[in-house]
Each structure stands twice: as C-alpha cells, then as structure tokens.
Structure 1
C-alpha cells in the first residue's frame, strides 16, 4: 500500500461512493427507523446514484454490515438488520420472508 492509498478502502467507499451521499453518523444511530429514514433521504436526494433509490440505500446498508464482518457486535448487527425492514417499509416494499 502506497502513502496515497488509504488503509481502509471501505471507509473511503462509504465516504466517497457514487451510490449516495450519506448523512454524518447514520450508522451510529441507535434507532433502526432513524437509520432507514436517513438512508432514504440520502438516496432520494442523490444525483450520483446509478440505480433506484431503494436499491442504493439497501446496498449501502448491506455494504456497511458486510464490511464490519465479525467486528460488528451482535446487538449492533441486529439493529442494522432491523433497519433493513424499516427501509423496506419506508419505500412501501413488503418485508422479506414475511407475507405482505
């Protein structure tokens, strides 16, 4: 890794992704609904995203969960997984694996 290459490429992706511009601290919020609504606002406002707002928001949430991997405490992972359901609800999508 050269001096111009950040050690944590995933942080750079989160901060400078073409998917959407995230609100500061979105992944540190404790309320799954607030996380989902923040991601929705970011996705709806973004002119740089390459796909539909829902897909961009869900992709960023999944990216964060996946990159944290084993370092993500179970309680935090559960909160972020609940945020997925809240994001689906915010976009009027049925909850996955459950009847609509």
Structure 2
C-alpha cells in the first residue's frame, strides 16, 4: 500500500437555501462572512464563511442542484493521484483557472 500524502482541508461546501440563517449559525462558531456571489436579482447565491484560513461555502443557488464538495491542499498532487490509483479509486480530473485541480469520484463525489 502507498502512504497517503499530507492533506489539509481548505473548505467544505454545503447547500444552504436560506443563507442569512446559515450565516448566523456559522457566526456562532466564530466564522465571519467572506467572498459573496450574488445572482441577477442580487440575492446571495454563494457565501463563504471564513475562519483561520478555512471556510464553509454556503451554496444558496437553488435554481440548479448544488453539489456539496470539499477542498483539500496537498503539496504533492502527483503522489496523491498515484495513491488514489493504488486504491482503485477512479476519478475524473480537470483544471480550473490553471491553479486548481478538481477531482470527481466515480460515485459522483467531489474533492
């Protein structure tokens, strides 16, 4: 078996059809509002709640199913991909903006 490369969690994204209520919940844990994306009607579509370099991403846009996901940091993506392959974990990989790699497991999981 291969050793799992070092990973840290960057963020977790969850469905939050009532983002203002969800924001109050996360504020109770010390999270503070960060980046926000609004829809055409200026309602919150996505709200990041940040704390200590990590964040919870509230996905409020209910016009399409929101895919929950999580973000990880690794200093060795190649080793991580080899580790996944050694465990027969199938995935699709694509780049976003040249700086981020996204993986989707064969069961639809996001990472």
Same fold (TM over 0.5): no
Larger radius of gyration, structure 1 or 2? 2
TM-score (ref. length: structure 1):
0.29
